[in-house]
Amino acid sequence: MIEINLSSSTGKKGKGKGKSGRAKSASGPSFDLGASLRNLFAGVRDPFLIGAVAGVALAVLGVGFMFTTQEARATGLAETEARAVQDSARYAAVIRERRKAEAQRDSVLRQLDIIRSIDDQRYLWPHLLEELSKTLPPFTWLTSIAQTSAVPTPSSVPDSAAKAAGDSTATTPPLKFRLVGHTVDIQALTRFMRNLEASPFVQNVQLARTEGVLVDGHQVTEFHLDAEWQRPPEAVLRTAPVSLSVR
Protein backbone atom coordinates (compact mmCIF):
# COMPACT_ATOMS: atom_id res chain seq x y z
CA MET A 1 0.00 0.00 0.00
CA ILE A 2 1.27 3.44 -0.81
CA GLU A 3 1.06 6.18 1.99
CA ILE A 4 1.35 9.87 1.28
CA ASN A 5 2.39 12.49 3.94
CA LEU A 6 0.05 15.40 3.50
CA SER A 7 1.76 17.61 6.16
CA SER A 8 4.37 19.73 4.44
CA SER A 9 5.84 21.33 7.69
CA THR A 10 7.01 18.15 9.35
CA GLY A 11 10.47 18.36 8.01
CA LYS A 12 10.83 22.00 8.85
CA LYS A 13 9.70 21.44 12.37
CA GLY A 14 12.12 18.65 12.67
CA LYS A 15 14.81 20.89 11.38
CA GLY A 16 13.82 23.62 13.85
CA LYS A 17 13.88 21.23 16.69
CA GLY A 18 17.28 20.12 15.65
CA LYS A 19 18.53 23.68 15.64
CA SER A 20 17.05 24.35 19.09
CA GLY A 21 18.66 21.22 20.44
CA ARG A 22 21.93 22.26 18.99
CA ALA A 23 21.53 25.76 20.60
CA LYS A 24 20.80 24.30 23.99
CA SER A 25 23.73 21.95 23.78
CA ALA A 26 25.93 24.81 22.77
CA SER A 27 25.04 26.93 25.87
CA GLY A 28 26.28 24.20 28.31
CA PRO A 29 24.63 22.44 31.27
CA SER A 30 23.11 24.51 34.19
CA PHE A 31 22.70 23.55 37.94
CA ASP A 32 19.71 24.77 39.98
CA LEU A 33 20.52 24.43 43.76
CA GLY A 34 17.02 25.34 44.93
CA ALA A 35 15.46 22.81 42.66
CA SER A 36 17.92 20.16 43.76
CA LEU A 37 17.15 20.81 47.47
CA ARG A 38 13.44 20.73 46.77
CA ASN A 39 13.82 17.47 44.97
CA LEU A 40 15.96 16.11 47.83
CA PHE A 41 13.51 17.10 50.57
CA ALA A 42 10.60 16.03 48.42
CA GLY A 43 11.95 12.53 48.56
CA VAL A 44 12.35 12.60 52.35
CA ARG A 45 9.11 11.79 54.11
CA ASP A 46 10.42 10.77 57.59
CA PRO A 47 9.72 13.60 60.18
CA PHE A 48 12.25 12.23 62.67
CA LEU A 49 15.00 12.46 60.10
CA ILE A 50 13.98 16.03 59.30
CA GLY A 51 13.99 16.89 63.02
CA ALA A 52 17.39 15.30 63.50
CA VAL A 53 18.86 17.25 60.59
CA ALA A 54 17.32 20.48 61.89
CA GLY A 55 18.65 19.79 65.41
CA VAL A 56 22.15 19.18 64.09
CA ALA A 57 21.99 22.40 62.09
CA LEU A 58 20.83 24.39 65.12
CA ALA A 59 23.54 22.79 67.29
CA VAL A 60 26.21 23.74 64.75
CA LEU A 61 24.91 27.31 64.63
CA GLY A 62 24.78 27.52 68.46
CA VAL A 63 28.31 26.16 68.86
CA GLY A 64 29.58 28.62 66.28
CA PHE A 65 27.85 31.53 68.00
CA MET A 66 29.13 30.51 71.44
CA PHE A 67 32.66 30.01 70.13
CA THR A 68 32.65 33.45 68.51
CA THR A 69 31.25 35.07 71.67
CA GLN A 70 33.70 33.32 74.01
CA GLU A 71 36.61 34.15 71.73
CA ALA A 72 35.69 37.84 71.76
CA ARG A 73 35.23 37.78 75.54
CA ALA A 74 38.57 36.02 76.06
CA THR A 75 40.29 38.64 73.91
CA GLY A 76 38.68 41.44 75.94
CA LEU A 77 39.66 39.83 79.24
CA ALA A 78 43.24 39.37 78.05
CA GLU A 79 43.47 43.06 77.18
CA THR A 80 41.95 44.03 80.55
CA GLU A 81 44.42 41.78 82.36
CA ALA A 82 47.36 43.30 80.50
CA ARG A 83 46.22 46.82 81.45
CA ALA A 84 45.66 45.74 85.06
CA VAL A 85 49.17 44.25 85.26
CA GLN A 86 50.67 47.48 83.91
CA ASP A 87 48.64 49.60 86.33
CA SER A 88 49.56 47.31 89.23
CA ALA A 89 53.27 47.61 88.46
CA ARG A 90 53.01 51.40 88.16
CA TYR A 91 50.95 51.80 91.34
CA ALA A 92 53.25 49.43 93.26
CA ALA A 93 56.18 51.70 92.45
CA VAL A 94 54.19 54.77 93.52
CA ILE A 95 53.12 53.12 96.80
CA ARG A 96 56.70 52.03 97.49
CA GLU A 97 58.00 55.57 96.99
CA ARG A 98 55.21 56.98 99.15
CA ARG A 99 55.98 54.60 102.00
CA LYS A 100 59.64 55.49 101.76
CA ALA A 101 58.78 59.21 101.94
CA GLU A 102 56.44 58.61 104.90
CA ALA A 103 59.16 56.68 106.73
CA GLN A 104 61.58 59.58 106.21
CA ARG A 105 58.93 62.05 107.38
CA ASP A 106 58.18 60.00 110.51
CA SER A 107 61.90 59.78 111.29
CA VAL A 108 62.30 63.56 110.99
CA LEU A 109 59.20 64.18 113.11
CA ARG A 110 60.50 61.79 115.75
CA GLN A 111 63.80 63.65 115.92
CA LEU A 112 61.95 66.95 116.19
CA ASP A 113 59.86 65.58 119.06
CA ILE A 114 63.04 64.60 120.90
CA ILE A 115 64.57 68.04 120.26
CA ARG A 116 61.36 69.72 121.39
CA SER A 117 61.28 67.62 124.56
CA ILE A 118 64.88 68.50 125.35
CA ASP A 119 64.19 72.16 124.66
CA ASP A 120 61.16 72.09 126.94
CA GLN A 121 63.29 70.74 129.78
CA ARG A 122 66.24 73.03 129.14
CA TYR A 123 65.14 75.99 131.29
CA LEU A 124 62.97 74.00 133.66
CA TRP A 125 65.33 73.97 136.63
CA PRO A 126 66.33 77.64 136.35
CA HIS A 127 62.65 78.64 136.47
CA LEU A 128 61.99 76.22 139.30
CA LEU A 129 64.92 77.42 141.42
CA GLU A 130 63.88 81.01 140.85
CA GLU A 131 60.36 80.23 142.07
CA LEU A 132 61.69 78.43 145.14
CA SER A 133 63.91 81.35 146.04
CA LYS A 134 61.05 83.85 145.63
CA THR A 135 58.54 81.86 147.70
CA LEU A 136 60.93 80.88 150.53
CA PRO A 137 59.84 82.73 153.71
CA PRO A 138 62.25 84.16 156.31
CA PHE A 139 63.94 81.82 158.78
CA THR A 140 63.43 78.92 156.38
CA TRP A 141 66.09 77.37 154.18
CA LEU A 142 66.44 74.35 151.89
CA THR A 143 69.09 71.66 152.33
CA SER A 144 68.41 69.52 149.22
CA ILE A 145 66.36 69.42 146.04
CA ALA A 146 66.09 66.07 144.24
CA GLN A 147 64.13 64.83 141.24
CA THR A 148 61.95 61.85 142.16
CA SER A 149 60.41 61.08 138.74
CA ALA A 150 62.15 59.15 135.99
CA VAL A 151 64.38 61.13 133.66
CA PRO A 152 62.73 61.30 130.19
CA THR A 153 64.51 59.26 127.52
CA PRO A 154 64.11 59.43 123.73
CA SER A 155 62.04 56.23 123.82
CA SER A 156 59.59 57.75 126.31
CA VAL A 157 59.04 60.94 124.33
CA PRO A 158 55.59 60.79 122.65
CA ASP A 159 55.63 61.35 118.92
CA SER A 160 53.46 63.73 116.94
CA ALA A 161 51.43 60.91 115.38
CA ALA A 162 50.34 59.63 118.80
CA LYS A 163 49.42 63.14 119.91
CA ALA A 164 47.42 63.73 116.73
CA ALA A 165 45.60 60.42 117.23
CA GLY A 166 44.42 61.60 120.65
CA ASP A 167 46.32 59.00 122.64
CA SER A 168 45.93 59.90 126.31
CA THR A 169 49.22 58.21 127.17
CA ALA A 170 51.10 60.26 124.56
CA THR A 171 52.22 62.91 127.07
CA THR A 172 55.54 63.46 128.73
CA PRO A 173 55.30 62.42 132.44
CA PRO A 174 55.45 65.44 134.76
CA LEU A 175 58.65 66.16 136.60
CA LYS A 176 58.35 65.40 140.32
CA PHE A 177 60.81 66.58 142.96
CA ARG A 178 61.32 66.56 146.72
CA LEU A 179 62.37 69.52 148.85
CA VAL A 180 64.15 69.01 152.16
CA GLY A 181 64.65 72.03 154.41
CA HIS A 182 64.66 73.49 157.88
CA THR A 183 62.53 76.14 159.51
CA VAL A 184 62.35 77.66 162.97
CA ASP A 185 58.67 78.50 162.59
CA ILE A 186 56.01 75.97 161.68
CA GLN A 187 53.83 78.81 160.40
CA ALA A 188 56.59 79.68 157.94
CA LEU A 189 56.37 76.14 156.56
CA THR A 190 52.62 76.55 155.98
CA ARG A 191 53.22 79.87 154.24
CA PHE A 192 55.94 78.30 152.09
CA MET A 193 53.59 75.52 150.92
CA ARG A 194 50.87 78.05 150.13
CA ASN A 195 53.28 80.20 148.10
CA LEU A 196 54.46 77.17 146.16
CA GLU A 197 50.89 76.23 145.23
CA ALA A 198 50.29 79.78 143.99
CA SER A 199 53.31 79.60 141.70
CA PRO A 200 52.51 78.95 137.99
CA PHE A 201 55.49 76.57 137.83
CA VAL A 202 54.63 74.25 140.77
CA GLN A 203 51.60 72.10 141.57
CA ASN A 204 50.48 69.27 143.88
CA VAL A 205 52.57 70.35 146.89
CA GLN A 206 52.31 67.67 149.59
CA LEU A 207 53.92 67.49 153.02
CA ALA A 208 55.67 64.12 153.32
CA ARG A 209 56.90 64.35 156.92
CA THR A 210 58.34 66.68 159.55
CA GLU A 211 60.61 66.07 162.51
CA GLY A 212 62.59 68.07 165.02
CA VAL A 213 66.37 68.15 164.62
CA LEU A 214 69.30 70.02 166.17
CA VAL A 215 71.24 72.39 163.94
CA ASP A 216 74.22 74.16 165.55
CA GLY A 217 72.72 73.47 168.92
CA HIS A 218 69.31 74.93 168.00
CA GLN A 219 66.05 73.03 167.72
CA VAL A 220 64.55 73.37 164.24
CA THR A 221 61.90 71.57 162.20
CA GLU A 222 63.04 69.52 159.25
CA PHE A 223 60.41 69.14 156.53
CA HIS A 224 60.07 67.00 153.37
CA LEU A 225 57.84 68.36 150.61
CA ASP A 226 56.82 66.57 147.41
CA ALA A 227 55.73 68.65 144.44
CA GLU A 228 55.41 68.60 140.64
CA TRP A 229 56.45 70.90 137.88
CA GLN A 230 53.68 72.36 135.74
CA ARG A 231 53.86 74.25 132.47
CA PRO A 232 52.99 77.89 133.04
CA PRO A 233 50.50 79.79 130.87
CA GLU A 234 51.72 81.36 127.65
CA ALA A 235 51.34 84.82 129.16
CA VAL A 236 53.88 83.95 131.85
CA LEU A 237 56.41 82.11 129.69
CA ARG A 238 57.19 83.13 126.13
CA THR A 239 58.35 80.31 123.85
CA ALA A 240 59.32 79.96 120.19
CA PRO A 241 57.87 76.79 118.62
CA VAL A 242 59.96 74.44 116.51
CA SER A 243 58.23 73.81 113.20
CA LEU A 244 58.89 71.67 110.14
CA SER A 245 57.27 72.03 106.72
CA VAL A 246 56.68 68.56 105.29
CA ARG A 247 56.48 68.47 101.49
Q: Please give the average per-residue pLDDT across 83-105, as a whole number.
A: 86
Averaged pLDDT score across all residues of the chain:
76
pLDDT band at 169 (very low <50, low <70, confident <90, very high): very low
Top-confidence residue, 109 or 158 = 109
Q: How far apart are CA 111 and CA 56, in angstroms?
A: 80
pLDDT of residue 246 exceeding 80: no
Q: Domain-by-domain residue ranges, the chain? A: 42-122, 123-229
For the stretch 27-62, pLDDT in tens is 555 556 566 656 655 555 666 766 777 778 888 888
Q: How far apart are CA 185 and CA 137, in angstroms?
A: 10
pLDDT band at 2 (very low <50, low <70, confident <90, very high): low
Among 31-40, 62-71, 109-118, the minimum mean pLDDT is found in 31-40
Q: How far apart are CA 124 and CA 200, in angstroms?
A: 12
pLDDT of residue 16 exceeding 50: no
Top-confidence residue, 92 or 171 = 92
- pLDDT, residue 113, reads 78
pLDDT of residue 236 exceeding 50: yes
- pLDDT, residue 238, reads 63
pLDDT of residue 20 exceeding 50: no
Which superfamily does CATH assign the domain made up of 123-229 to? Answer: General secretion pathway protein M, EpsM (3.30.1360.100)
Q: How far apart are CA 147 and CA 134, in angstroms?
A: 20
* Residue 195, Cβ density class (10 Å: 0-12 exposed, 13-18 middle, ≥19 buried): middle
